[in-house]
Structure 1
Amino acid sequence: MARRVKAPDSTAPAGPWLPSLDIVIPLFDRFEPLDAIGPYEILAYVPGATVKFVTVEPGLVQDVLGSLLVHVPTRYSDVERCDVLLVPGGGSFQTMVNDPAFLDWVRRIHAGTRFTTSVCTGSLVLGAAGLLNGLTATTHWDASSDLESYGAVYTPERVVRHDRVITSAGVSSGIDMAVRLAALLTDDVTAQAIQLYTEYDPQPPFDTGSAAKAPAEVLERARTLG
């Protein structure tokens, strides 16, 4: 699955983006849908970008909630390079971190990326690949100790950047990361236009979107959802 968005025509203001950008998102069974689809929606509008989903073997990949099937026609092993690697989380991270061949691929791809990124527990995959050792990074709030077991220093920030490695916190924070990444790949105005077009203007009805703000009862209930 890939989506190509036409680059601006020659009369449009020049920008710093590359003429083409290959963005790769690996999907394994039990992936968290918003981890992948939220950033995909944003990054597919980056001028010149091609977003490609990859997996172990071509076929249907099921999300962690059990109702979404995505047909992925490309093996990750067939991809030799990309400009952006974006690793989503969900239950799929457990498969990824225990797959030596996949971790080797992540390391090889990372060597040539402009940005290597993660959403939610996707950061544990980067950690297992040895890409976060000694770095401050973020992940889902309930996986902070797992992240630190890979040598990273956990912070509850929504998006953390170290040069070309960018991690984002749980689920919805991947959209924040994708907007920031769009700006890094293009310019602020282009990223702002994408944010406006997608009407990304969060106004949640409750102020319990982070573990630091949520009361104990809500934290306890939230832990039963994962």
Structure 2
Amino acid sequence: MQIGLLLFPKLTQLDLTGPFEVFARMPGATVHLVWKSREPITCDRGLTMMPTMDYAGCPQLDVICVPGGPGQIDLMPDDETLDFLRRQSERARWVTSVCTGALVLGAAGLLKGYRATTHWASHDQLALLGAIPVQERWVIDRNRATGGGVTAGIDFALRLVAEMAGEATAKAIQLGIEYNPAPPFDAGLPQSAGPEVLQRVQPAMAPMLEKRLAATRAAAARL
């Protein structure tokens, strides 16, 4: 089982490292961190990571996964990346994303007519790219699997492992990593966080969301 996670500048590392931790524990899986080159990549909060595979040398993947984060905006018009995703998707068993990586799949034309989800703050942009937005933690539609924002990548990956290797394997991985979430606050979605918390978060996100929306509209015009 060949699994490739896209590692690009300014991604949100947990979008990638959450699923990586799960996929890397699946028996028989080889997990690649894929980018244009093997130069170090700096994530949106400063963590540096190393790709293990470049586009040119990447084998045919059984699973291709695109994380999200601010750097996703720069991928929307990136023909080299979009072409790589299109080529891989032709024979991949699963075409997947976490968070706003779904918008990159959409920009490549890979979510047209598919049910999908993404981070709550950008959920409304899915429809611009021909996807059918669904408000769920993770969504599977045929061979497309999408996870919501950031931490949803762990849930998404466990569900996908269950699809590929059986529920018993997924449960064993969950136990092995002691994935037993019990957050101290119920503030992970706008409806549970409440208006006061939302008003603290939205202004900080607004400039990036404006750039993301412009990139999504431009990508939609090219489809």
Match of 2:177 in 1: 198
Match of 2:121 in 1: 142
Structure 1 residue runs of 4+, over 2 Å off?
A: none
Task: Give CA-to-partner distance per residue, 1:109-136, whole Å, 9 cap, x none.
Answer: 0111111110000000111111111222
For residue 197 of structure 1, report the CA deviation from its aligned partner.
0.5
For residue 34 of structure 1, report the CA deviation from its aligned partner.
0.4
Match of 1:171 in 2: 150
Tell me, yes or no, if the aligned pair for 2:2 and 2:63 is still in contact at 8 Å.
Answer: yes
Q: How many residues align?
A: 205
CA distance in 2, matches of 1:63, 1:200: 24
CA distance in 2, matches of 1:215, 1:147: 24
Task: Give CA-to-partner distance per residue, 1:125-158, whole Å, 9 cap, x none.
Answer: 1111111112221000111122221111222201
Structure 2's unaligned 5+ residue stretches are: 209-223
Q: Give the aligned CA root-mean-square deviation in angstroms.
A: 1.3
Match of 1:8 in 2: none
Tell me, yes or no, if the aligned pair for 2:114 and 2:144 is still in contact at 8 Å.
Answer: no
The alignment partner of 2:41 has SS state of strand
User: Which of 138, 152, 155 lines up with 2:131 in the alignment?
Assistant: 152
CA distance in 2, matches of 1:154, 1:213: 20
Task: Please give the residue correspondences for 1:34-113 in structure 2 after superposition, counting only pairs within 5 Å.
Answer: 34-66=14-46, 68-113=47-92
CA distance in 1, matches of 2:124, 2:135: 12
For residue 80 of structure 1, report the CA deviation from its aligned partner.
4.3
TM value normalised by structure 2: 0.88
Structure 1's unaligned 5+ residue stretches are: 1-20
Match of 1:16 in 2: none
TM value normalised by structure 1: 0.87
**Structure with more helix by fraction:** 2
